[in-house]
Structure 1
Amino acid sequence: MASTDSTGTAETGPRRRHLSPFRWAFPIVVVTLLASLLGVMYLDYVVDPEKNLHDFPIALVNQDVGDDLKTGDQVQHVNFGDQVADGLRAAVPADQIDLRVLGINEAQLQMQSARVYGTIIIPSDFSKRLGILGVGSVVPGEISKPVLTLQTNPRTGAFATAVVQKFGEQALTQVNDQVGKQLTDQVTKQLTPPPGAPPTELSGATRLVLAQPLNIVTEQFRPLPGGSGEGLTAFFYSLLLLLVGMVGAMIIHQLIDSALGFLPTEWGPWYVHFPRASISRLRTLLLKWSAIAVMAVVVSAVLEGIASLLGMPIDRPLLLFLYGALVIVAVGFTCAATLAAVGTAGLIINLIVFIILGLPSSGGTIPIEATPKYFGWLAKFEPMHQVFLGTRSILYFFGDGQAGLTRGVWMAVLGLVIGVVFGLFITRFYDRKGLERKPAAAPEPAA
C-alpha cells in the first residue's frame, strides 16, 4: 500500500527511491575521494621539502684574478678562487643544486628576474688577501680575512631564502675547512728551518686563524620593502584572484540559473521557483560571461584598493589591476564553461583543477624545486602557478617579463581562449541537438 504525504496524495515508488542507500552513500564516497586527493597533494607537498630538493638554481661568481706568490727564489701565480670554485662544484650534490657558474652581470640579471635563488661571490682580490693572511700569520702587521659573499634573493620567498642559507652554511663551511687545511700546511712548510736550525712552530692563535681563514658574509640582494609579508603577499594575492574567478563564476552561475527558472531560489524560509525562461544554453552562457567580465573589473579594483589601504607596496598599480582583471576573467569564463558542459559535476572539476591540484603546484610557499617532481609537471599548465608568477613579477620584480609576467599573461590568455572556444562549442552543440534544460517528465501514478 502506498503511503500518503500531508496533502493526502499517495507517494509512489519512484519518490521513495530518493532515499535508497546508494543515493545516500554516493556523496559520502565523492567527498572521501576528494579528501584523499587533498591529503596526498597537500601532505606530499610539505612533508619533506629537503628530501625533494632538485635542480635548485644558485649562481657561482668567481671574480678572482689570482696573485703572484714568492716561494724561496721562485714566483708562482696562483688562483685560489678557482680552487674554491672547483671545490664547491665537487661538494655540491648535482641532483639537488643547479650550481651555475656565471659572470657578475649575468648573475645579477638572473637574481633580478628570479631565475636563481642565491649567488656565491668570490671577490677579485681573494687570492691576494689569502696570500697576505698566510704571510701575515707569521709576520707582524694588520691583516684581514678574505671574504666570500652569499647573496640571498628574498623576493623569491622565505623558504627559498632558507634553503640558500642552509646550503651556504654547509657548503661554504666545508670550503672554509679545506682552504684552512691547505693554508696551514703551506705556512708550516714555509717555516721549516734549514738543517741544524731550531724548529719554528705556529702559535695556537695563528693555527686558529689559519684553520678558518675565510670571512663568510651573508647579505640580501634587493631586500623586500615593508608590508610584503616576507614574500608571501604575492602568493595570497594570486590566491585571491583565482578564488574570485572560480567562486565568483559558481555564484553567478547559480544566481542567474535561479533567476531564469532553471533552479529554485531559496533564502532562509523563503522559497520560490520561477517559471523556466525560454532561452538557449548559448545565450545563457553569454549572459553569465557578461556578468563575470563586469565582476572581474570591479573586484580587481576593489582588491587592489584593499591592498593599498593595508599598506601593501604596489609599484605598478595599473599593471596589477589589468592583470588581476584578466586572471579573473580567464578563470571565471573557464569555470562557467565547465559548468555549462557537465552541470553540477563541474563544481567538482573546478575544485580539483583550480584548488586541489593548483595550490601545492603553485610554488608560492615552497619552491617547485623543493617539491616532488610531479609537481613540476603540474606547474607547467596548472593555472595557480601561472597566476603566481605573473603577480610576483608585478609586486616584487617591477613587472619584469622574464620574472614570470610574460608567462603569466600568455597562459591567462591561452586559458581564456580555451574556455571561450570550449564553452561556445559545447553549448552550441547542445542547442543544435535539442538538449533543452527542462525537468524530466513526472512518472505516472501507480494504478
Structure 2
Amino acid sequence: MLLFPIAVLTLLTALLGIMYLDYVVDPEKNLHDFPIALVNQDVGDVIATGGQQRQVNFGNQITEALEKGVPADKVDLRVISISEAERQLQSGAVYGAIVIPSDFSKRLGILGVGSVIPGEMERPIITLQTNPRTGAFGTQIVLRVGDQALTEVNKQVGKQLTDQVAEQLKPQPGGPPAPELSGATRVTLADPVNVVVQQYHPLPDGTGQGLSAFFYALLLLLAGVVGAMVIHTMIDAQLGFVPTEYGPWYVHYPPTPISRFSTLLIKWGVMVVTANIVSAVYLSVATLLDMPIDHPLALFLYSALAIIAVGITCLSTLAAIGSAGLLVNLILFIVLGLPSSGGTVPIEATPKYFGWLASFEPMHQVFLGIRAILYFDASFEAGLARGVWMAVVGVAIGLVVGAVVSRFYDYKGLHRTNRVAA
C-alpha cells in the first residue's frame, strides 16, 4: 500500500527532472535547424585593379562564405529575397535575418579608394535583424550566431580589401614612392564592415519581452486541466459517486441513477460554459493590466476553444480510466507540454525529441495560436491556423473517446455504484 504511491511519485519526479532540465541546460549544444534568413541585395560594382577594370560582387562572396562558415547542422540559413524574408519575419518563420544592401560592393570599393585618397571614409553596412516577437531567447541566439559568422566574414573581407589597396599602392617603375597608410586606415581596412543590429517590428511595452504569449497560453492550459479536475470531482460528489469533506464534516450523497455517458455529457456542458466565462475573465484581466491586445474578439474565441479542447479531453480521460486520469492529464498536458511548448526556449534549441513532442503536444499548439493573435496580427500563417485546427482535432478526439468508452461501460452494465473492496 505504501510502496505504490512512493514508486509513482519517484517516477513522476524523475520525468519532471529530465523534461525540465534537459531542455534548458545547454541550448547551444542542442541547437539544430535554427532558421535565419540571408538576403543579398548587392548589385556589384566595377573597380580598378592593377590598371584594369573588373566586375566584383562582394555580396556574393559574403553569401558563399556564410553558407560555408555557418554550421548547417545547427543553423538553417535561408538565402531568400528581401520580400520573402519580410514575409517570414512577419509570420515568425525565421528568428532573424542578415541583410546585405544593394550598394555594398560600391561602398566597399569607395572605402578602398578612400584609404588611398585623403578624406573621410565610411564603412559599408550589413544589417543583422532580430525578430523579437519570436521570443527573447531566440533573439539572443540570432545575435550570437550573427556575431560569430559576421566577425569571421569581416576578417576575410578586410584581408581582401587590404590586399587590393596594397596592389593599388605599388609604385610604378620610375614613378614616385608609394604613400604610407596611416594606422587608422589600416584598422579600418582590417575591419571594413559595420554590422548594424536592428529589431524587426519591435514589441510594444506590456508584452514581457515576448513572454506574455507563453504565460497566457499556460493560463489557458491550466484552466482546462484544473477546470476538468474540479468539474469532475464536484459533479461526482453532487451525484453521490464520491464523498465530500468540509474540514471535519463529511458528506456522501446517495448515488444518483444516471448513466456514465449522461454524467459525461453534463460535465462537458459545464466545461463549455466555464471555458467561455474563464476566457472572458482572462481577457478582462489582461485589459486591466494594459497588455496590448489588437484582436480581443479573436483572443476570446480562440481562448475559449483551447480551454474547451483541453477540458473535454481531460474529462474524457477521467471518464475512461478514473482517478488514474489525473496523473495521465498531468503528464500529458503539464509535464510534457511546458518544456515542448517553445514559449521560453525555441524548439530548435532543445533536444530533438522535444520537436517530436511539439508536433502534437497541446501546449505548443495553444502557444502558437496565442502568439499569432498577440504578436503577429492574428495571422493564420503565423500559427493561428495550426492552433485552431489542432484545437478542433483535440475536441473531436475528446468527444469520440469519451462517448465510445462511457457508452461501452454502460452497455456492459459497469454502472457507477459503491463497491466494497475485498
Compute the TM-score of the two structures, normalised by the length of structure 1: 0.93
**Contact 1:188–1:202 (Cα < 8 Å) also in 2:** no
Tell me if the contact between 2:337 and 2:363 (Cα under 8 Å) persists in the aligned partners: yes
Cα distance in 1 between the residues matched to 2:54 and 2:157:
18
**Equivalent AA in structure 2 for residue 344 of structure 1:** S
Q: Which amino acid aligns with 1:24?
A: L
1:71 Cα shift? 2.7
Aligned equivalents of 2:316, 2:420: Cα separation in 1: 27
Question: Among residues 227, 231, 240, which one is paired with 1:252 in the alignment?
Answer: 231
C-alpha deviation, 1:196, in angstroms: 4.9
CA distance in 1, matches of 2:353, 2:378: 28
Match of 2:88 in 1: 110
Q: Deviations over 1:233-286 (max 9, x none)?
A: 000000000000011000000000000000001111121100010000000000
CA separation in 2, counterparts of 1:130 and 1:24? Answer: 75
Moved beyond 6 Å, runs of 4+: none
Picking from 297, 321, 324, the partner of 1:318 is 297
For the pair 1:408 / 2:378, whether they are aligned, the reply is: no
1:269 to 248, 267, 271: 248
1:139 partner SS: coil
Aligned residues of 2:242 and 2:252 also touching (Cα < 8 A): yes
Residues 128-147 of structure 1: CA deviation (Å, up to 9, x unaligned): 00000000011022331100
Instruction: Provide the residue aligned with 2:146 in structure 1.
Output: 168
Q: How does 1:24-103 map to 2 (within 5 A)?
A: 24-103=2-81
Q: Following the alignment from structure 1 to structure 2, what is the Cα–Cα distance between the partners of residues 441 and 334?
A: 30
Question: Runs of 5+ in structure 1 lacking a partner?
Answer: 1-22
Q: How far is 1:151 from its partner?
A: 0.3
Q: Does 2:307 correspond to 1:328?
A: yes
Partner of 1:366: 345
Deviation at 1:168, TM superposition (A): 1.2
CA contact (8 A) 2:49 2:164 kept: no
The match for 2:410 is: 431
Post-superposition CA distance 1:200-232 (Å, at most 9, x none): 432212101101111110000000000000000
Q: Which deviates more from structure 2 when the two are superposed, residues 207-216 or residues 73-82? A: 73-82
Q: Is the 8 A contact 1:238 1:391 kept in 2?
A: yes
Q: How far apart are residue 105 of structure 1 and its match? A: 0.4
Task: Give the corresponding residue for 1:133.
Answer: 111
Deviation string for 1:58-92 (max 9, x for gaps)?
00000000011123442111101101111111110
3-state DSSP class of the match of 2:245? Answer: strand
| Secondary structure of 1:305 counterpart | helix
Contact map agreement 2:50 2:167 (CA 8 A) in 1: no
* Larger gyration radius, structure 1 or structure 2: 1
Preserved contact between residue 43 and residue 57 of structure 2 (Cα < 8 Å): yes
Q: Identify the match of residue 343 of structure 1 among 314, 322, 331.
A: 322
- What letter matches 1:42 in structure 2? Y
Worse overlay, 102-111 or 67-76: 67-76
Say how many residue pairs are matched. 421
Taking the aligned partners of 1:132 and 1:168, their CA distance within structure 2 comes to: 25
- Write the distance in 2 (CA, Å) between the matches of 1:31 and 1:356: 13
1:201 and 2:214 aligned: no
Which residue number corresponds to residue 15 of structure 1?
none
Q: Is contact 2:378–2:384 with CA below 8 Å preserved after alignment?
A: yes
| Residue equivalent to 1:227 | 206
Question: How far apart, CA to CA, are the structure 2 residues paired with 1:238 and 1:308?
Answer: 16
Percent same amino acid at aligned positions?
67
Question: Using the alignment, how far apart are the partners of 2:408 and 2:49 within structure 1?
Answer: 87
Q: Tell me, what secondary structure is at the counterpart of 2:274?
A: helix
In structure 2, the partner of 1:388 is 367
Displacement, 1:28? 1.1
Q: Is residue 281–residue 430 contact of structure 1 (8 Å, CA) maintained in 2?
A: yes
Aligned to 1:399: 378
Letter in 2 for 1:127: S
1:124 alignment partner, SS class: coil
Report the secondary structure of 2:29's partner residue. coil
Contact 2:127-2:195 at 8 Å conserved across structures: yes
State how far apart, in whole Å, the 1-side matches of 2:421 and 2:388 are. 49
Whole-Å separation in 2 of the counterparts to 1:160 and 1:423: 39
| Partner Cα distance (2:69, 2:181) in 1 | 30
| C-alpha contact (below 8 Å) 2:100/2:127 kept by paired residues | yes
Letter in 1 for 2:334: I
1:180 corresponds to: 158
